[in-house]
Structure formats: C-alpha cells, structure tokens
Structure 1
C-alpha cells in the first residue's frame, strides 16, 4: 500500500465534497462565507473525515453515503480550531502556516464563522438523514454530536481552559485528552462503522482503538510543541508553555512521552488487527501518526 498516495486521494475527495457542501463566497453576506472557507481550506490532515470514511469502508460502506458526515466532522473540527485560537483562549496568530481566522477577519467574524461551521455541520448531516430516512444515518449523526458536545470535545476544552496556570494531576490531563481530542476521533470511527452496518462488538473495538489513537495523537502534539519548528507545524511552538498548560511532556518529559505514544499506538493497532486485512489502511495510518512531524 502507498499510504501517502491513499491519503492524498482521500484528502482531495473530502475537499471536493466540502466545496460542494459549504456556501459559496459569492453569496451574501460574503464575509462570513469567506471566513468559513478560509479556515476549512487552510490545509490540514483531514484525519477525522479520513477515519470516518475508512471505518465505513471496513464494512463495505460507500464513500458518497458517508461524505456528508465526514465533511460535517471536519467542519466541527475547524470551528473548534477557530475558537481555540481566539485571544480569550489560546491567543494564537498562526494556524497551518497562515494567519488565524481572527487575525484575518477580526474577532467578531471569527466567532461567527466558528458558530456558522458548527451549525452548518449539523444542517449537512440533518439533510442526509432526511434524504435517506435511515436509522443508521441518524445514529451516525448522534455519534458525532456526542463526540463534539458535552459528552466529549466541549467539556475537554472547558477543563483545558480552567486548568491553565495550574499543576494538574495525570487523571485530569487524561480527562482533557480523552475528551478534547480522542472523543472526536472515536466519533469518526463510530459514525463510519455505523453507516457501514457494523455490529455492536465491532463498534466497541473501533471506539477503544479510537481512544488510544486520539490520546497518542494529542501527546504527539504536545511533543511537537516542544521539539518541532513553526515551519513544520504551521503554527507557533512552545504555545503550551506560553499558556502555562500541563502536558504529558511537562509531567513525564519528552523521552517518556514518546514511549507512551508508541505504546498506545501499538495497542490501537492490536485492536484494529481484529478486522484482518480489511483494516490495513487504518493500521498503516495509525503507525504513520506515531512519527508525524506536523
């Protein structure tokens, strides 16, 4: 398998679909749609929609049936980044190698663009549910809602914000990582599997793998914030130090954090191997994320 080529093709497919689902920049009021598209098409790995499509294919699901949900989860992820970068939260000036949304459009429009992407994500999924009248689509939408809201990303972000400047314990840090980052990765895998018609046992395996992938992904982010460069990451480094955040690196150090990433990833791979050769792409992607530099 040529993983790089596979990822490139999947990103291009998702970008085409996102372009179709998002309002055009020419529509009135143009500024909000320009702002939405500015952040959505700023680049990025498209990890969550790729995971959703891969989980759907694992059970012979069709990409086009899963596309509204894959695009919706990317819209939700992008909204969270726009709001993360705001002066009231992380106060970052660069994201993916370009000015953050509030630096390009102002804080007021950036807040509204995040709101617009969140609501448009649910509009996109609701349209798909109404069109298919399919219980699987409704359950996929719920999985994403759970991952994004008060059962997942939102509460993780809240605890992250209120923990700034404090020496938190590992239990609190794990709570942040499992909710702020891993919950949306679990949601992507669960939604894709549900759309593909997976049984409950398969969904549970994927959710367990998703938690491990998500926590490992966030720890790797913490590591890169210390050892990476702004050119590689497309955003400032040492931002955790600037914002006085406790991370796996501040608690365990870089070397031990790297070991934890590798252990969690190996455990995720072991779970994914339950699906045999069908999970080759997911297995290779998980291994690839261990040594990512951006």
Structure 2
C-alpha cells in the first residue's frame, strides 16, 4: 500500500517592518560611524607627534560600539532645513558624538555611575582600565574641538567659532558637566520639580539643544530660526530625559543594554519617580505636540525632525 505524502502549506514568514524614520536614523548613523572610523583611524593620524595605540583603541571602543547617533542625526537633519550639509555637517556631527561618548565613558566610571555594560558591551574602564578610560574620555572631548575648528570643516571662521563656543558651553560647567555635578550632589535628596528640570536641561538637554542650533549655524540661518530650533531642541531634550527616566523604571537591563533601576537605588529624584508612570507618559505626549508646533513654520521640510521628536518620546531602549 502506497502512503500518500502530504505537503503542508507553510504560511510566509512575516517580515519585520522597520518604521521609515528608523531607516532614516540608521542611514545617518552609518554615515556618522564611517566618519568617526575615518577620524579615529591610526593610519590617518600618522603625521601627528604621537598617538599611543592603547589610548586610541580605548577611544575607538568608547565611540565605535553602535548607538542610535541621535544627536548627530539632529545636526544633519537641521542643516538640511537650510539646504546645507556635506562634509562640514558630517564633521560637526561626528565631533558632537565624540563629546557625547566621552561623557558616557566618564559616567560609567566607578566614581560616577559604576557601570559594567554600555550598549551591551563592556564599558571602557572594564575593557581597559580606569586610568585609560579617563584619558580616553579626555581625548575624545578635546579631539571634538580639533575637528570642529579645523579648516577641513569647510565653514567660514565665524561659523566655526560659533560652533566651538556653543559646544564648549553645552558640554561644560553650565551644561552637561555642571548638570552631572548637580545630579551627583542630589543623591539621597528630594529635589523640587524646578531643580530637577534645571538639572536635566543641563545634563541631557544641553547637547541635544546644541545639535539643533548647530545645524542652523551650519546652514547660515537667521537669528529667529536659530532661536526656534533651539526651543525645539530644548523640548525634545526634556522628552529624551523623561523617556530615559521612564525606561529606568519600566525596562529590563537586557532591552537597555545596561543596568536599569539605578536611579531609585541611588536615591536620585527624577520627574518620573516624583509623579509616576502615567503622568510621565502624558508629559511626553505634550512635549511632542509642543515640538511639532515649534516646527510648523518650516512646513514639510521639517518632517524628519517631527519624526525624531516622536521617536525620542516613544523609544523602547
């Protein structure tokens, strides 16, 4: 007796749909990653006096480890509003990412947040050692100003000076570094809402605001447009921090690629912990609406920035 063989019809596998904005963000990240690799290539730096190999490798470890490259994307996308871009925008975007990554390298140190993982990989002080991590962060910070101020960043001297000044202020005592100092001082204390807002605007918001202003400077925008884009950057900077605080309360370490729940463990006050998850989600929706209103005068040209605002508020890691 011959048995009939049945061929079961298998349903087609569902393709994972990638939202269009995430594709755009990934393309920008690839461009910035390629520029960072070029800038941190030992062969391209042979003409310098000395480039200690281990230090350069630690810098590369701190920068070339993935990431969304959101801040560089904001520079590139804002510059496009004014039909600007090219080499100058890409170099400034890479420089800003060097500053951002320097801050992560130092934040992960035992004296700061004492983290072992960053983006799912060992932090620089774990992969190398603490002293090398400190020097790698220092080198990334200073190299950023080298990149922006160099003639290869093909912008008028006045524009390069404005970019350097803005970056110094966003990264320094009145910006990210000052915000980190306030954050460390606030451990174990219950800050008022206005104090939390000031801290977060400095620690997280300053570099995001700078990214939006920098694109306008590269595009030689007028003062009103620069101010408007600075307001947009401030709104999504706050949204970014609120989303980060929300994820620290609700996301897993696996999804984040780093430890979560550390703010509560350290006794750090955040708006999410102060007001709760539902309040935080409501504020995120409001900030997205505010950001979209700010961009209204730019019309369809600003759609990429509107998508960025929504992405910041809705991100899952």
For the residue of structure 1 that corresponds to 2:150, the secondary structure is helix
- 2:242 paired with 1:224: no
Q: Is the 8 A contact 2:109 2:125 kept in 1?
A: yes
Q: Which residue does 2:123 correspond to in 1?
A: 100
Q: Is the 8 A contact 2:236 2:288 kept in 1?
A: yes
Q: Is the 8 A contact 2:188 2:267 kept in 1?
A: yes
Distance 2:150 2:89 in 1: 13
Distance 2:85 2:69 in 1: 18
- 2:49 paired with 1:31: no
1:19 aligned to 13, 37, 43, which one? 37
Q: Which residue does 1:66 correspond to in 2?
A: 89
Distance 2:53 2:90 in 1: 25
Cα offset for 1:23? 4.2
Q: Flag the structure with larger Rg.
A: 2
Unaligned runs of 5+ in 1: none
TM-score normalised to the size of structure 2?
Answer: 0.89
TM-score normalised to the size of structure 1?
Answer: 0.96
Cα offset for 1:129? 7.3
Q: Which residue does 1:174 correspond to in 2?
A: 197
Note closer, same or farther for the CA distance 1:170–1:96 as it changes in structure 2 (3 Å cut).
same
Distance 1:139 1:242 in 2: 40
Q: Which residue does 2:284 correspond to in 1?
A: 261
- 2:101 paired with 1:83: no
1:68-108 Cα shifts (integer Å, max 9, x gaps): 21111000000001111111111111110111111111111
1:7-50 Cα shifts (integer Å, max 9, x gaps): 11111100111111124289742111110000101111101111
Note closer, same or farther for the CA distance 1:131–1:4 as it changes in structure 2 (3 Å cut).
closer
Note closer, same or farther for the CA distance 1:201–1:273 as it changes in structure 2 (3 Å cut).
same
Cα offset for 1:289? 1.8
Kindly indicate which of the two structures has a greater share of residues assigned to helix: 1
Note closer, same or farther for the CA distance 1:33–1:165 as it changes in structure 2 (3 Å cut).
same
Q: Is the 8 A contact 1:93 1:99 kept in 2?
A: yes
- State the superposition RMSD in angstroms: 1.7
